[in-house]
């Protein structure tokens, strides 16, 4: 997701940095992102405590961002940064809210959204509705940018049976039955 975001932004108009609070894994995807923008690896390990939050916030401040985009574990840093600096952030929600966000960070997310610093962006309409219900957000506070794929671009040879293959986790979070059945 981060790679697609970086790849699709006009980098001549927007200066993008990717801050990874964990260490480098030496993957092909990391190399691809590094070709497109500045990537900072902080090599933080284990439990996210106050000292980790301070180090990450200092690194964010060093970059002087106008806005932060976060998802999953990075949400804690973006929400705290937004509250401290009164600057905007976007949180992408890929899954059910109770799976995506630690209950400890939920009050900070609600506060940040209510103050107008943060917006939640869901990847599907069903995900958006789940976020709105969970947090009590409205359409302005929780948006949808559909993360679906238009299969008509790939489904070009007429045939009777549709075959779908997924390479990835097959857990409840992925909601495959809502997508296809």
The enclosing domain of 55 has a CATH number of: 3.40.50
Q: Is residue 151 situated within a structural domain?
A: no
Of the CA atoms within 13 Å of residue 39, those in its CB half-sphere come to 20
Closest by CA to 85, choosing from 107, 115, 114, 41, is 115
Pairing outcome for strands 142-144 and 17-20: unpaired
For the segment 26-32, the average pLDDT, to the nearest whole number, is 92
Total number of domains in the chain: 1
Q: Is residue 55 situated within a structural domain?
A: yes
Q: Is residue 82 situated within a structural domain?
A: yes
Q: Is residue 41 situated within a structural domain?
A: no
Q: Is residue 58 situated within a structural domain?
A: yes
Q: Is residue 23 situated within a structural domain?
A: no
Closest by CA to 122, choosing from 86, 60, 170, 175, is 175
Q: Is residue 89 situated within a structural domain?
A: yes
Q: What pTM did the predictor assign?
A: 0.78
> In this structure, what DSSP letter does residue 42 have?
-
> Which residue range is the domain that position 76 belongs to?
46-146
CA distance 9 to 62: 22
Where residue 171 falls among pLDDT bands split at 50, 70, 90? low
Closest by CA to 134, choosing from 93, 175, 80, 75, is 93
Task: Specify the range with the lowest mean pLDDT, choosing from 22-26, 94-98, 113-117, 152-156.
Answer: 152-156
Q: Quote the pLDDT of residue 47.
A: 81
Q: Is residue 160 situated within a structural domain?
A: no
């Amino acid at each position: 997701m981060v790679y697609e975001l970086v790849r699709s932004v006009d980098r001549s108009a927007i200066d993008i940095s990717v801050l990874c609070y964990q260490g480098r894994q030496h993957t092909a995807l990391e190399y691809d992102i590094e070709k497109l923008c500045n990537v900072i690896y902080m090599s933080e390990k284990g439990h996210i405590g106050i000292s980790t939050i301070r180090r990450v916030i200092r690194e964010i401040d060093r970059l002087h961002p106008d806005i932060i985009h976060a998802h999953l574990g990075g949400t804690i840093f973006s929400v705290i940064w937004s509250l401290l600096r009164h600057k905007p952030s976007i949180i992408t929600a890929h899954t059910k809210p109770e799976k995506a966000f630690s209950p400890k960070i939920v009050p900070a997310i609600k506060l940040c959204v209510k103050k107008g610093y943060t917006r939640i962006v869901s990847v599907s309409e069903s995900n958006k509705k789940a976020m709105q219900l969970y947090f009590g957000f409205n359409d302005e506070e929780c948006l949808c940018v559909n993360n679906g794929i238009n299969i008509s671009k790939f489904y070009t040879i007429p045939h009777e049976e549709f075959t779908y293959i997924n390479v990835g986790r097959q857990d409840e979070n992925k909601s495959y039955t809502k997508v296809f059945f």
